[in-house]
Structure 1
Amino acid sequence: MKYFTILLFALAFTLGCNDEPETPTPTATAQPNILLILADDMGKDATSGFTEGNTKPGTPNLDRLRTEGLTFNRLWVNPTCSPTRASILTGRYGYRTGVKWAGDPLPTTEKSLHQYIKDGTDGAYATALIGKWHLSEEGAVATPESFGIDYYAGLARGAVQNYYQWQLTEDGSGSLQTEYITQVFTDLSIDWVNSQSKPWFLWLAYNAPHTPFHTPPAAMHTQGALPDYTDGLDPTPYYMAAIEAMDFQIGRLLEGIPTEVLDNTLIIFLADNGTPAQVAQAPYSGSTVKGSLYQGGVNVPMFVSGKGVTRQGEDNSLLCSTDLFSTIANLTGINEAVYQDSYSFANLLTGGQGSRTFQYTEMDNGTTNAWAISNGKYKLITGADGNEELYQLEQDPYENTNLLIDALPSEAAEAKSVLEAELSAIRN
């Protein structure tokens, strides 16, 4: 296998932000290619290198990216996919964009990371998004191209009914596909990258390992001869097989990029939210993973390695998904450390300290409207209905004991007041 490296970035939030999109200052500096890989529904309990979960998939390509690069342990995303995707694409929180739950459409007034990079580099970068979109549906006015993305091909909706029979949207039109979707996204990515003559930014959004549970092609996984999935079967090996198939395709992608191009590429791998309830593993439960504001829903894996990354090992800086916007922009040569709700953590790739002192995330599914904020030690979850939960994450990392059940010690009471003040500053 060729030498390759990966960059896994975390997601972030910003305080005291302007609401109007800004235009960055152009730069003529030669910059690396950026490859952002986003997995769909993959928590720490399903990822090698983390203590959560007992059953892990075989992922040699992700393992190599992790061991050769930097693991960010405290990245926060949103509980479901669309808000996380919108936060990366815009650098703004969901309550600003209106994307607060899966399926919420992104307004065309929002400025995308792809457009921001093109403006800020005076068109030096080619940009693409391949794979799952889920910020508008087929036929909607808000197409990926309407956000300044040069090339889009993929799945407009949130999921497929069949990994082997699905609708591909490309160049504004749809076509029925009968090849395995994870492989098709990889093929499209290889073709696009190898057709570029200038630096590029590619966001590859796999829909794996999102449901439906299924059996991938045998050559792509190590889970054995799985029968077709039906209700009543244990979904775990099917879920693991989908992750292994994605890892197999990541290996194909990296092999398919010429060595000299890969040597000048930063790679980012992360997940959009935690594991689905059907396959959640201890210490998580079905109510503390995807769809929840608990750690199993919002604290996801992220690995980083590649061009310009001189650190290896683990980093415990506080990060949010919005932070990917300004970080990736920085890496293309745009000198904006803070943009809207996004703080750049590009400096962490070589050393230094993180700039974020609080993490923020949110959800609003029409029934539950709530927010979470943390300073790394304490975490406060607040609902619009007035319900609150407070956890001491250093002693209780999986949120088993709500401190508000009893009278608060002085330190916890002070921390709650600080978190409430920061939450008010963010949302008002």
Structure 2
Amino acid sequence: MHIYKIAAVALALCLPCAGHAAPNILLIIADDMGLDTSRCYAVGDQQANMPILEQLCAEGLVFDQAYSAPVCSPTRATIMTGKYGFRTGVGGAIPPRGGSGLSPDEFSLFDALNETEYASAVVGKWHLASSPDDLDHPAEMGVTDYFGMISGGVRSYYNWQGVENGTRNDVDGYTTTVLTDRAINWIGERQTPWFLWLAYNAPHTPFHVPPRTLYTGENLKDDETAIRENPLPYYNAMLEALDTEVGRLFDSMSDETRENTIVIFIGDNGTPGQVSRQLYGARRSKGSIYQGGTAVPMIVSGPGVEGGRTEALVNTTDLNATILALAGADPDGAVSDGIDLNTILKGETGSREFAYVEHFGDGGMPVDVMGWAIRDAQYMLVAPDGDAEQMFDIANDPLSQFDLLSATLTPELNQRVLALRAAYQDLRGD
């Protein structure tokens, strides 16, 4: 229903940046959305109906090899700081109590943006604070305008507690809709170039039925037993609701604003096991260091972006460097593991040789797999804590079904293993 407006600006989205004002930047993060969820990627056969995202894929640049952390907090920390978790200490989902959040001493994306002409804000899920009572944590990280949920999720998508610039209030309304309303209002008030971090909590559990106007198909029963026995339709309905609301957000912008806005869409980690274990296998989805837990959809569209697909390796750390470069912000000499992707956005090849993921911390769910993994253009070496290393030919075995280390290695494969281990040791200084 919203495709017509996006299509109307398709030509403008391909224009070079030269002659344009400083671009607005919209970062949209979907919670618990792996490659298998989107028709933009040929992974599995259980994709949600997301026409707005599919149109974005058709017009923008689709990244086929983008990697996040296996869970939400460390992914967000990598975007916020441009650093891997072993440098910041955020390596797993921060628990409600007794956890260690992202230190305000870290130089953040917003610290840098605050020194530019850009207005900036965060709307949505935070999950970087040590406690759900640490209401001022966004401000401590340089965020001057914040509204959303401080902790990792909500108990109800319809009645929840929101935090606005350090003050907590009860909120009535479907979270995806409320967050979209906030984003629309904030963008509509801007008079200067802006950056908006819009972090939906959907489709994270609980799998609550969205308002009927936001999803198509059969009516879903609001029944816990039905959800537990067959969660996929509910999960997909929540994704479709997110897509519908993103379309509403796009439609709310003037043509001039939309044409001068770079949109970055990404999932924060893989799909949860309830809806993807048949595809990837047990303990191979969200929370694991395997492909199913860390390979995520990523699409970029906007002025100066060359459409198509790219096999360039990407880590979520790279979003930090890319956004800073787009905004002309100075990282102030901060240590960074990120690589500016703007050359890739203009149609050139990427320079990253390895993608690295890690998962560590005290807590975690029983299905979590801690450890680290590193991959090059073809192979991924996986090192689960307390278990033997494994290696997969991701280029030819994208679901990681056959462990190459379970058989006798050819000299060439043995060299690949050694090279991946060396890359890890060089990165970590081990």
TM-score normalised over the length of structure 1: 0.90
Counterparts of 2:29 and 2:160 in 1: how far apart (Å)?
A: 20
Letter in 2 for 1:253: L
Counterparts of 1:274 and 1:384 in 2: how far apart (Å)?
A: 19
Q: 2:30 aligns with which of 30, 33, 39?
A: 39
Contact 1:54 1:281 in 2 (8 A): no
> Cα gap change, 1:323/1:91 in structure 2, threshold over 3 Å: closer, same or farther?
same
Contact 2:107 2:334 in 1 (8 A): no
Could you tell me which residue of structure 2 aligns to residue 403 of structure 1? Answer: 404
Counterparts of 2:207 and 2:387 in 1: how far apart (Å)?
A: 37
Letter in 1 for 2:150: A
Counterparts of 2:304 and 2:29 in 1: how far apart (Å)?
A: 21
Could you tell me which residue of structure 1 aligns to residue 113 of structure 2? Answer: 117
Q: 1:319 aligns with which of 311, 314, 326?
A: 314
Q: 1:91 aligns with which of 78, 82, 88?
A: 82
Partner SS, residue 229 of structure 2: coil
Could you tell me which residue of structure 1 aligns to residue 269 of structure 2? Answer: 273
Contact 1:360 1:371 in 2 (8 A): yes
Contact 1:73 1:315 in 2 (8 A): yes
Could you tell me which residue of structure 1 aligns to residue 215 of structure 2? Answer: 221
Partner SS, residue 5 of structure 2: coil
Q: Unpaired runs of 5+ in structure 2? A: 14-19, 95-99, 364-368
Counterparts of 1:224 and 1:319 in 2: how far apart (Å)?
A: 37
| CA distances 1:284-329 after superposition (whole Å, capped 9, x unpaired) | 23421101111111011111111221x2221000110000000111
Counterparts of 2:308 and 2:124 in 1: how far apart (Å)?
A: 29
Counterparts of 1:305 and 1:419 in 2: how far apart (Å)?
A: 32
| CA distances 1:99-156 after superposition (whole Å, capped 9, x unpaired) | 100115111111111111223x3xx111101000001133227611111112100011
Contact 1:45 1:281 in 2 (8 A): no
Letter in 2 for 1:269: F
RMSD of the alignment, in Å?
2.0
Could you tell me which residue of structure 2 aligns to residue 160 of structure 1? Answer: 154
Counterparts of 1:302 and 1:207 in 2: how far apart (Å)?
A: 17
Could you tell me which residue of structure 2 aligns to residue 382 of structure 1? Answer: 383
Offset of residue 339 of structure 1: 5.6
Q: Greater CA deviation, 373-382 or 88-97? A: 373-382
Partner SS, residue 342 of structure 1: coil
Q: Unpaired runs of 5+ in structure 1? A: 8-28
Letter in 2 for 1:164: Y
| CA distances 1:253-297 after superposition (whole Å, capped 9, x unpaired) | 111112211111000101000111111165323421101111111
Letter in 2 for 1:329: L
Contact 2:33 2:268 in 1 (8 A): yes
Could you tell me which residue of structure 2 aligns to residue 147 of structure 1? Answer: 141
The number of residue pairs the alignment matches comes to 403
Q: 2:354 aligned with 1:355, yes or no?
A: no
Letter in 2 for 1:303: I
Partner SS, residue 73 of structure 1: strand
> Cα gap change, 1:142/1:423 in structure 2, threshold over 3 Å: closer, same or farther?
farther
By relative contact order (CA 8 Å, sep 6+), the higher-ranking structure is: 1
Counterparts of 1:327 and 1:235 in 2: how far apart (Å)?
A: 36
> Cα gap change, 1:339/1:63 in structure 2, threshold over 3 Å: closer, same or farther?
farther
Q: How does 1:187-198 map to 2 (within 5 A)?
A: 187-198=181-192
Q: 2:135 aligned with 1:135, yes or no?
A: no
| CA distances 1:181-214 after superposition (whole Å, capped 9, x unpaired) | 1000000001111111111000000000001011
Letter in 1 for 2:399: Y
Partner SS, residue 211 of structure 1: coil
Q: 2:178 aligned with 1:177, yes or no?
A: no
Q: Greater CA deviation, 280-289 or 253-262? A: 280-289
Partner SS, residue 318 of structure 1: strand
Counterparts of 1:61 and 1:386 in 2: how far apart (Å)?
A: 42
Contact 2:135 2:163 in 1 (8 A): no
Could you tell me which residue of structure 1 aligns to residue 17 of structure 2? Answer: none
Of Structure 1 and Structure 2, the greater helix share is in 2
Offset of residue 382 of structure 1: 1.9
Could you tell me which residue of structure 2 aligns to residue 23 of structure 1? Answer: none
Counterparts of 2:282 and 2:118 in 1: how far apart (Å)?
A: 42
Q: 1:81 aligns with which of 60, 72, 90?
A: 72
Could you tell me which residue of structure 2 aligns to residue 330 of structure 1? Answer: 325
Q: Greater CA deviation, 29-38 or 193-202? A: 29-38
Counterparts of 2:74 and 2:119 in 1: how far apart (Å)?
A: 25
Contact 1:84 1:321 in 2 (8 A): yes
Partner SS, residue 75 of structure 1: strand
Contact 2:325 2:340 in 1 (8 A): yes
Partner SS, residue 299 of structure 2: strand
Could you tell me which residue of structure 1 aligns to residue 16 of structure 2? Answer: none
Counterparts of 2:223 and 2:128 in 1: how far apart (Å)?
A: 29
Contact 1:112 1:148 in 2 (8 A): yes
